[in-house]
Amino acid sequence: MTTMREDITPDRFRSVMRHVPTGVVVVAATTPDGAPVGLAVGSFVSVSLAPPLVGFFVAHDSTTWPRIEPLGRFTVNVLADDDEATCRAFAMRGGNKFAGVGWHPSPMGSPVLDTALAWFDCTANTISDAGDHRFVLADVHDLSARPAGRPLVFCHGTYQRLGDGS
């Protein structure tokens, strides 16, 4: 039986996509008044090695992204598997998500979370519409990773830890 495209409801789409594991990052920026802002993103992906490009998708109804986009610069902070609380805080809408979160500025002045497993210092390259999201293609200007630690993984609607490996 062939599935009709109109039968692919958001709930059905989610029920299949929940089997696809993703890492979790916090995309963050420093506003002109010095306040850090950010949101949790699971759609982060490596795009190009030379030049170094990364990308992610942001929902049209994000309230934080419209504060980041005009700045044109941001960090991508990869969360470690002991940092579930940070992910939950940045997946909330509104409020001061940085309350109690340690951070320091990247070389370009965007927030690097003290607990990040890895971070990328980025500027926006191209932003394009992608259904109910926007695709943000970004240039990487600097990056770093802790020598040890494992990434937080989101799959089957829960936070998971990787087993063997580093």
151 preceded by a cis bond (ω within 30 of 0): no
Nearer to ligand FMN, 65 or 103 (CB): 65
Nearer to ligand FMN, 69 or 142 (CB): 69
CA dist., res. 24 & res. 74, Å (int): 16
Q: Please give the residue whose beta carbon sits closest to ligand FMN in the complex.
A: 42
CA dist., res. 83 & res. 45, Å (int): 20
54-62, 69-77, 109-117, 136-144 -> range binding ligand FMN (CB under 6 A): 54-62
Q: Choose, by CB under 6 A, the member of 53, 62, 124, 149 that binds ligand FMN.
A: 62
Beta bridge partners of 69: none
Nearer to ligand FMN, 6 or 136 (CB): 136
Please tell me whether residue 59 binds ligand FMN under the rule CB under 6 A: yes
Task: Say if residues 97 and 90 touch (Cβ distance below 8 Å).
Answer: yes
Please tell me whether residue 31 binds ligand FMN under the rule CB under 6 A: no
Q: Choose, by CB under 6 A, the member of 54, 65, 80, 140 that binds ligand FMN.
A: 65
Farthest CA pair distance, the chain: 57
Parallel/antiparallel/unpaired status of strands 53-59 and 45-48: antiparallel
8-16, 52-60, 77-85, 99-107 -> range binding ligand FMN (CB under 6 A): 52-60
Please tell me what DSSP assigns to residue 3. Answer: P
Residue 121, both tokens: 């210092």
Give the interface with ligand FMN as residue ranges (CB under 6 A). Answer: 24, 39-43, 56-59, 62-65, 87, 91-94, 154
